[in-house]
Amino acid sequence: MVDKIFDSNTNPGGYLEIQDIVSPPRCDDDTLKGTDLEKWGILMLEASRKLGVPLDSAVTVKQVMEGAGYVDVTEVIYKWPMNRWPADKKMKEIGMFSYFAVGTDIDRRLVSFAIRLSDEANVYRSLVS
């Protein structure tokens, strides 16, 4: 798709901005290691890849853009908390909004992957919901 955007919709000197998330969830320490949430996230990623909509496409977006012909591609990576645990006031506020936008609505947003492709992912969904 980035190729089509570059060829059809970007004039010389123009730019493309892409914002995306990366899944499975990550953290700064090892607190997710071996948890049901980590396992569920990995299974959801596998399911999304099978459906052709990988939940980790943000990891390669810079290379994809450069491959399409964009030059001077800048990648900015932000930490994005998903709950109110951060000590920093701004990150705590972002985390609260994220939790209510995504965390309380996991079923509606992601259950289709589990239903269509992975019974095991559906089991982990029930453990982390």
pLDDT truncated to tens, each residue of the chain (129 aa)?
A: 888 888 888 888 888 999 888 888 888 888 889 998 888 888 888 888 888 889 899 999 999 999 999 999 999 998 888 888 899 999 999 999 888 877 666 666 666 666 666 666 666 666 666
Residue 69, pLDDT score? 92
Residue 50, pLDDT score? 84
Contacts of 91 by beta carbon, 8 Å cutoff, 6+ apart? 79, 81
Residue 68, pLDDT score? 93
Q: Is the pTM of this model over 0.95?
A: no
Cα–Cα distance list, 25 to 12, 75, 80 (Å):
37, 20, 10
What is the DSSP-derived secondary structure letter of residue 57?
G
Query: Hey, what are 78's tokens?
Result: 């932000």
